[in-house]
């Protein structure tokens, strides 16, 4: 890894003309529409009274796989998506121009042969310059380390409480969910091509981690927000494992003031997919 190049890496602002079709496609990629006449689902799928889902902020203004830029000298083949966080400052529009600005905020060097964590931030504004959302992402570069660091490391979240969760919500995924979700801009072939997925060490294509985070957002909207997406203020997840299309995700919540901590578990394999999650929302019930 070339630390100096990474520290001074400059991103051009990305302008995206968001359409109603984009907003609906994002919701379809999270499995909305299984109950096609239910008002709580149609609000994300039908242009009359359409609403956006907060986690869509994570896919807008996508900068592409920038860590594979050769000048950064990152061993990107061994890169893992560690954590993701979004904070909503005002409800996302369902259409209109949005502008994304990106920057590297820090590198946490774990030592020679132990990898580094690259912390990255995106701010999302509307065409008038109003701040819509702040998104932070941590990438664990397993093949790097010993190069030095800068900035402040991301806050370490403690393990979840022990014992029975206060609330549980399950979402069953469809067999085509990975194929639908990738139309939001993440065209990594591991989510579509069985041969590529097997070469990566998996039995078949899996659901993008950001889709799993979107499913967590959906669970919170359904379970705690009376189907009102504007009540979600922020969410953080740590990616632990992958979920395959057709599997069921069980979200286990431990309530606290103003929100909850949670994990996402694959029911069929009893494997934790998302861990040390945190969500803040208005009006806990």
Average pLDDT, integer, range 108-124: 91
- Tell me if 36 is assigned to some domain: yes
The sign of the torsion formed by the CA atoms of 94, 100, 106, 112 equals positive
Does 189 share its domain with 224?
Answer: yes
Q: Could you tell me how far CA 85 lies from the centroid of its own chain?
A: 7
* 115 and 176 both lie in a single domain: no
**CATH of residue 117:** 3.10.129.10
Q: Is 89 a catalytic residue?
A: no
Structural domain contains residue 98: yes
Interval 8-34: pLDDT, tens: 999 999 999 999 999 999 999 999 999
Strands 232-239 and 271-281 turn out to be: antiparallel
Q: Which among 89, 124, 141 is the end of a domain?
A: 141
- Whole-number Å distance between alpha carbons of 266 and 177: 15
Kindly provide the b/e burial profile for residues 1-39, where b requires at least 16 CB atoms within 10 angstroms of the residue's own CB.
bbbeebeebeeeebebebeeebbbbbbbbbbbbeeeeee
- In the listed set 106, 141, 176, which residue is the last one of a domain according to the structure? 141
pLDDT at 138 over 80: yes
For residue 150, give both structure tokens: 């800068």
In a domain, 159, yes or no: no
Q: Which residues contact 70 (CB under 8 A, 6 or more apart)?
A: none
Catalytic residue among 84, 102, 169, 191: 191
Regarding whether 197 and 126 lie in a shared domain, the answer is: no
Residues 191 and 93 in one domain: no
Indicate whether 76 belongs to any domain.
Answer: yes
Q: Is residue 201 part of a domain?
A: yes
Tell whether 212 is covered by a domain: yes
Residues 126, 194: one domain?
A: no
Shared domain check, 128 and 11: yes
Quick one: pLDDT at residue 285?
Answer: 45
Place 147 in a pLDDT band, splitting at 50, 70 and 90: confident
What mean pLDDT do residues 204-228 have? 96
Question: In angstroms, rounded to a whole number, what is the distance separating the alpha carbons of residues 259 and 275?
Answer: 16
Which tokens hold the place of 86? 């979004």
Is residue 80 domain-shared with residue 188, that is, in the same domain?
Answer: no
Domain closes at, from 90, 106, 141: 141
Looking at the structure, do residues 125 and 12 belong to the same domain, yes or no? yes
Assess whether 127 and 177 both reside in one domain.
no
Give the range of the structural domain holding residue 47, as residue numbers without chain letter.
Answer: 3-141
Same domain, 103 and 194: no
* 206 plus 108 within the same structural domain: no
Confidence class for position 39, pLDDT limits 50, 70, 90: very high
Q: In degrees, to the nearest 5, what angle opens at C-alpha 143 toward C-alphas 83 and 275?
A: 20
- 281-to-40, 125, 142, 221, 259 alpha-carbon distances in Å: 18, 21, 34, 9, 5
Tokens of 29: 């990629």
Q: Are residues 237 and 124 in the same domain?
A: no
Overall domain count for the chain = 2
For residues 140-155, one letter each, b for 16 or more C-beta atoms within 10 angstroms of the residue's C-beta and e for the rest, the string is bbeebbebebeeeebe
The answer to whether 249 and 220 are in contact (CB under 8 A) is no
* 23 vs 202, more confident: 23
Catalytic status, residue 126: no
- Residue 206 backbone phi and psi in degrees, to 5: -125, 170
Sign of CA dihedral 194, 199, 200, 202: positive
Q: Is residue 147 part of a domain?
A: no
The residue annotated as part of the active site, out of 17, 186, 226, 228, is 186
Show the CA angle centred on residue 47, arms to residues 53 and 16, nearest 5°: 60
- 42, part of any domain: yes
Q: Note the pLDDT tens digit of each residue in 68-92.
A: 888 988 887 778 888 999 999 999 9
């Amino acid at each position: 890894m070339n630390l100096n190049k990474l520290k001074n890496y400059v991103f051009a602002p990305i302008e995206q003309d968001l359409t109603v079709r984009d907003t609906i496609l994002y919701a379809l990629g999270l499995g909305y529409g299984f109950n096609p006449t239910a008002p709580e689902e149609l609000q994300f799928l039908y242009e009359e009274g359409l609403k956006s889902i907060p986690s869509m902020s994570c896919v807008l203004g996508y900068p592409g796989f920038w860590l594979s830029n050769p000048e950064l000298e990152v061993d990107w083949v061994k890169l893992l998506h560690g954590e993701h966080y979004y904070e909503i400052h005002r409800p996302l529009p369902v259409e209109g121009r949005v502008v994304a600005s990106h920057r590297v905020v820090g590198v946490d060097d774990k030592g020679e042969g132990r990898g580094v964590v690259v912390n990255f931030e995106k701010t999302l504004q509307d065409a008038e310059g109003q701040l819509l959302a702040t998104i932070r992402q941590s990438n664990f570069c397993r093949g790097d380390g010993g190069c030095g660091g800068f900035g402040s490391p991301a806050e370490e979240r403690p393990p979840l409480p022990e014992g029975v969760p206060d609330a549980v919500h399950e979402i069953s995924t469809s067999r085509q969910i990975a194929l639908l979700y990738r139309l939001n801009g993440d065209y990594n072939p591991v989510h579509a091509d069985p041969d590529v997925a097997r070469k990566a060490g998996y039995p078949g294509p899996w659901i993008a981690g950001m889709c799993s985070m979107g499913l967590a957002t959906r669970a919170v909207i359904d379970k705690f927000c009376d189907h009102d997406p504007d009540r979600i203020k922020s969410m953080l997840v740590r990616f632990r494992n992958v979920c395959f299309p057709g599997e069921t995700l069980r979200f286990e919540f431990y309530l606290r003031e103003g929100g909850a901590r949670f994990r996402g578990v694959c029911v069929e394999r009893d494997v934790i997919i998302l861990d040390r999650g945190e969500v803040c929302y208005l009006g806990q019930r």
